[in-house]
Amino acid sequence: LPCQFIGMLCYEHKQYRNGLKFCKQILGNPKFAEHGETLAMKGLTLNCLGKKEEAYDLVRRGLRNDLRSHVCWHVYGLLQRSDKKYDEAIKCYRNALKWDKDNLQILRDLSLLQIQMRDLEGYRETRYQLLQLRPAQRASWIGYAVAYHLLEDFEMAAKIVEEFRKTQQTSLDKVDYEYSELLLYQNQVLREAGLYKEALDHLNNYEKQICDKLAVEETRGELLLKLERPEEACEVYRKLQERNPENWAYYQGLEKALKPGGVEERQKIYEDSWVKFPKGLVPRRLPLNFLTGKHSKFRECLDSYLRINLSKGCPPVFTTLKSLYTDKEKVTIIEELVVGYESSLKSYDGKEEPPTTLLWVQYFLAQHFDFIDQPSVALEYINAAIDSTPTLIELFLIKAKIYKHAGNIKEAARWMDEAQALDTADRFINSKCAKYMLKAGLVKEAEEMCSKFTREGTSAVENLNEMQCMWFQTECALAYKAMNKYGEALKKCHEIERHFVEITDDQFDFHTYCMRKMTLRSYVDLLKLEDVLRQHPFYYKAARTAIQMYLALHDKPLTDDSKESQANTENLTDKELKKLRNKQRRAQKKAQLEEEKKNAEKEKQLKNQKKKKEDDDEEIGGPKEELIPDKLAKVENPLEEAVKFLIPLKNLVRNKIETHLLAFEIYFRKEKYLLMLQSIKRAVAIEPSNPWLHQCLVRFFKGGELMFNADKADTHRDMDILICHSFSNCYERVRRAVFRSLQSTISPLDGTSCTLKGKVQHWL
């Protein structure tokens, strides 16, 4: 190329329009009309402006003209990366490195993709090359250390960080945040390597240069416990308690350090804390976990804790005690005490306690009786509280919850609407109300409720999707599923799936940022979180709902509306047919008006989006494929779509029996017997008495029997034996578990129940 064009850096400066002008000038010269690198750069620039197809054509053309150019391969890799085709991009970068093995930019880009795809071995090699080429750069050392850390070679990672730390010239009195984070990261690596003595010495040596003093003390306490130095650990945890007496972890650390011999000694630790922190609630709450209901101190501690909270008017007191409700004795004592408070407050007519105390006692009792499945009693208490104070939002919220737990979701939604009407500016109550409306099937009303807190000019649904408001989308999916609107429900499930893909892709920006800013502890935590991201309840709920709907669509595919209506009208009289046609015309007219209204709103939104895109020249890639409900509901192979949602659950949510039973349902329809057996065995290991599992076993047995009776020439005998042997073991375990649960639930004193038990036993 002529010298005047070699130094052009329009792409790096994001001056895409100018870049295209220079490309046009170069390619306009007959000598350079097919210059490969210029064609590739023109394609890359067009890709940044959203012209994807033209960009790919130009880059491929440039690559054909210059296969030995590292620039062409690098640009092709960048295009693949912009389309999230990371494996293909890695191949392109490797080809680029064949022609320029020491190119720093290509090596950096390759390392980013390798850590994104968790190719840790490849990442380590690439970071080593970067370290050799740029040993003076901080990011080279840190990236190499992080590679070993992620590969769990902690000692090597610690050595690399130490070698780098020695090169840093810092004053002992000067506090530098980035250096402080480096020291804390180094200490974390030493702890994970099991070098607790070295980690403690490191902490003591560099304590003055670390900014996060709280992290220093907490880490010191943990290390002293690991090194079995209880006296020093006690001092550390007592100092931490003074700093924050409401932190549960500090009391638990103090317990581990003091090693109490029994319940009395353990209780003494907390009694000392009561004296030291008279206003502290945690030292009064924690003993309730280990004291049994029969212990004399339990009632005394509980009484003290309840009196303090109820007198103050602390709404979440029931939530803090909810974990005690697994013990029946403790539940009885809680009920006796609080019912006693109510009768006492009523009889003394509020001379010593303010009238609000009775209100909070009734509020607590309503939650208590709701939790132990006595909704009528709970309603009596909450109604009494509402009569005394009809302006308190929390009371209406609890009343709505009682109706929800009792199964009357429409009444629950009505009372939640009453609650939000008391304070329309409260976003929490607004969200709760919308959620209850969705559970009641009132989708439009829920959307209107949410629109109070969404951006003006866009529909509430679009704005909530943009904000990744997944609770709304999961509830919408369940509501549409209940209404048999599978297309709309699947759209919501796929939107949630896209959110998780976006969250995974968003980590890309942090691979460089965290190395530069030295936030290494948070960076490693982020990578570990991203690896198990789809364990999140929102994803699990969306995936489970999608799988159930795809199974339903496989069993009963949606029929064409015109054919269905034609079949239904064959048996109608002329009068009935005329009436039906009029009804259909009215419905069609109404639907048309609604469609026009929707189109007008969409047009307005598209104008706003178009304007936003024009203002943003840095946007990369084209728009995502639109999710059309009808298309989603009439998919060709529903089982294959269900498997896409199932795979993350099988990898990350193995501890839930529903995962394996849903897997069985898919494989049963696909007639994959070994995979069915695998699902059943995993489910049996989790909960052998599950009724759904028992049903699956019976279906598996019947399906297997048909397979065994089929042509034996097509079936391997070894597989038959394996399935039969595994099935018999699973079935026997489930049979025993089901019968044991029946024995515990059916009373032997009832003659009818005994007969029922005999019949069930015979059936099993």
- The per-residue pLDDT for range 641-686, each reduced to its tens digit, is 999 999 999 999 999 999 999 999 999 999 888 899 899 999 999 9
Q: In the structure encoding, which two tokens stand for residue 117, read together?
A: 């795809």
Give the model's confidence band at 40: pLDDT under 50 very low, under 70 low, under 90 confident, else very high.
confident
Angle between helices 213-226 and 230-243 (to 10 degrees): 150
How crowded is residue 736: how many other Cβ atoms within 10 Å of its Cβ?
13
Q: Where among 116, 138, 155 does a domain terminate?
A: 155
d(CA 445, CA 417): 11
130-169: burial string, b at 16+ Cβ within 10 Å, e else: bbeeeeeebbbbbbbbbbbbbeeebebbbebbeebeeeee
Token representation of residue 103: 């190119």
Residue 619 has pLDDT above 60, yes or no: no
Q: What is the DSSP string of 243-293?
A: H-TT-HHHHHHHHHHH--SSHHHHHHHHHHHHHH-TT-SHHHHTHHHHS-T
CA 12 – CA 159 distance, rounded (Å): 36
Task: Please report, as a single letter, which amino acid is at residue 679.
Answer: S
Given a contact cutoff of 8 angstroms between Cβ atoms, the answer to whether 395 and 363 are in contact is yes
Last residue of a domain, one of 120, 155, 190: 155
Q: Is residue 403 part of a domain?
A: no
Query: How far is residue 232's CA from residue 218's CA, in Å, rounded to a whole number?
Result: 13
Q: Is residue 433's pLDDT more than 70?
A: yes
Of 625, 626, 619, give the one whose Cα is nearest residue 46: 619
Whether residue 60 lies inside any domain: the answer is yes
CA distance 312 to 279: 11
Residue 586 banded pLDDT, cuts 50, 70, 90: confident
CA dist., res. 345 & res. 328, Å (int): 26
| Least confident interval from 27-36, 588-597, 644-653 | 27-36
d(CA 211, CA 142): 20
DSSP of 610-678, one letter per residue? HHHHHH-TT--S-PPPP--HHHHHT-S-HHHHHHHHHHHHHHH-TT-HHHHHHHHHHHHHHT-HHHHHH
Residue given tokens 């530069």 in the structure block: 516
CA pair distance 103, 134, nearest whole angstrom: 11
pLDDT mean over 585-594: 76
For residue 560, what is the DSSP state? P
**pLDDT tops 50 at residue 746:** no
Alpha helices in 656-763 (DSSP H): 657-670, 673-686, 691-709, 717-745, 751-763
pLDDT at 171 over 60: yes
pLDDT at 369 over 60: yes
Classify the C-alpha dihedral 369-375-377-382 as positive or negative. positive
Q: Is residue 398 part of a domain?
A: no
C-alpha distances in angstroms, 455 versus 2, 233, 462, 690? 52, 52, 10, 46
C-alpha to C-alpha distance for 441 and 57, rounded to whole angstroms: 49
Residues in the chain, overall count: 764
Convert the pLDDT of each residue in 456-503 to its tens digit. Answer: 877 888 889 889 999 999 999 999 999 999 999 999 999 999 999 999
| Measured distance CA(515)–CA(105) in Å, rounded | 16
Q: How far apart are CA 339 and CA 381, in angstroms?
A: 11
Q: Please count the CA atoms within 13 angstroms of the CA of 325 that sit on its side-chain side.
A: 14
Q: How much is the pLDDT for 715?
A: 47
CB-based contact 472:450 (threshold 8 Å): yes
> How far does CA 258 lie from the centroid of its chain?
38
The amino acid at residue 242 is E
> Residue 32's domain is classified under what CATH number?
1.25.40.10
- Read off the tokens for 513: 């940022």
Residues 540/649, Cβ–Cβ less than 8 Å: yes
Burial (0-12, 13-18, 19+ Cβ within 10 Å), 450: buried
Query: Cα separation of 519 and 182, whole Å?
Result: 8
- Does 706 map to a domain? yes
In this prediction, residue 204 has a pLDDT band, given cuts at 50, 70 and 90, of very high
Mean pLDDT of the 50-73 span: 82
Report helix, strand and coil shares of the chain as percent, to nearest 5. 80, 0, 20
Out of 244-253, 293-302, 572-581, which region has the weakest mean confidence (pLDDT)? Answer: 572-581
Answer whether residue 413 shows pLDDT above 90.
yes
- Dihedral in degrees, nearest 10, Cα atoms 272, 275, 280, 284: 50
Q: Quick one: pLDDT at residue 1?
A: 46
Q: At 153, which helix (H) or strand (E)?
A: none
pLDDT at 3: 45
pLDDT confidence of residue 756: 40
Nearest C-alpha neighbor of 439 from the set 402, 410, 471, 473: 410
Rounded Cα–Cα distance for residues 160 and 181 (Å): 16
Mean pLDDT of the chain: 84
Lowest mean pLDDT among 81-90, 343-352, 571-580, 659-668: 571-580
Contact indicator for 133, 102 with CB cutoff of 8 Å: yes
* Final residue belonging to a domain, choices 136, 155, 174: 155
pLDDT at 96 over 50: yes
Is the dihedral angle over the CA atoms 726, 732, 737, 742 positive or is it negative? Answer: positive
> Are 81 and 113 contacting, i.e. CB atoms less than 8 angstroms apart?
yes
**Contact, 545 vs 477, CB < 8 A?**
yes
Cβ proximity of 110 and 94 under 8 Å: yes
Mean pLDDT of 50-77: 83
Q: Which of 222-231, 513-522, 536-545, 734-743 has the lowest mean pLDDT?
A: 734-743
pLDDT at 301 (0 to 100): 92
The answer on pLDDT for 439 being more than 80 is yes
Q: Is residue 741 part of a domain?
A: yes
On the question of pLDDT at 366 being above 60, the answer is: yes
pLDDT of residue 749: 38
Is 116 domain-assigned? yes
The pLDDT assigned to 705 comes to 58
> Tokens in use for 17?
């329009």
Q: What is the residue-wise DSSP string for 8-62? A: --TTTTT-HHHHHHHHHHHHHSGGGTT-HHHHHHHHHHHHHTT-HHHHHHHHHHH
Is the pLDDT at 567 greater than 50? The verdict is no
**Which of residues 730 and 463 earns the better pLDDT score?**
463
Mean per-residue pLDDT, 272-295: 89
Are 186 and 192 in contact by the 8 Å Cβ rule? The answer is no
Who contacts 86 (Cβ-Cβ below 8 Å, separation ≥6)? 80, 113, 116, 117
| Among 648, 661, 640, residue whose Cα is nearest residue 538 | 648
* Residues 432, 450 contacting (CB under 8 angstroms): no
What is the structure's pLDDT at 759? Answer: 42
341 vs 625, more confident? 341
Q: What predicted TM-score, i.e. pTM, was given to this entire model?
A: 0.83
The whole-number average pLDDT for the span 226-241 is: 94
Residue 247 falls within a domain, yes or no? Answer: no
Contact between residue 486 and residue 637 where contact means Cβ atoms under 8 Å apart? no
The count of domains in the chain is 2
**Is residue 721 very low, low, confident or very high in pLDDT (cuts 50, 70, 90)?**
low
* 207/743: higher pLDDT: 207
What pLDDT does 36 receive? 67
Question: What per-residue confidence (pLDDT) applies to 65?
Answer: 79
Range of the domain at 41: 3-155
For residue 76, tell me if it sits in a domain: yes
The 10s digit of each residue's pLDDT in 120-168 is 999 999 999 999 999 989 999 999 999 999 999 999 999 999 999 988 8
410 vs 4: which has the higher pLDDT = 410
Rg of the chain over all Cα atoms, to the nearest angstrom: 33
pLDDT class for 84, splitting at 50, 70, 90?
Answer: confident
Q: pLDDT value at position 713?
A: 46
Per residue in 104-124, pLDDT (tens digit) is: 989 999 999 999 999 999 999
Please say if the pLDDT value at position 387 is more than 90. Answer: yes
Model pLDDT, residue 17: 66
Instruction: Give the separation between CA 354 and CA 361, rounded to whole angstroms.
Output: 12
Confidence at residue 723, expressed as pLDDT on a 0 to 100 scale = 54
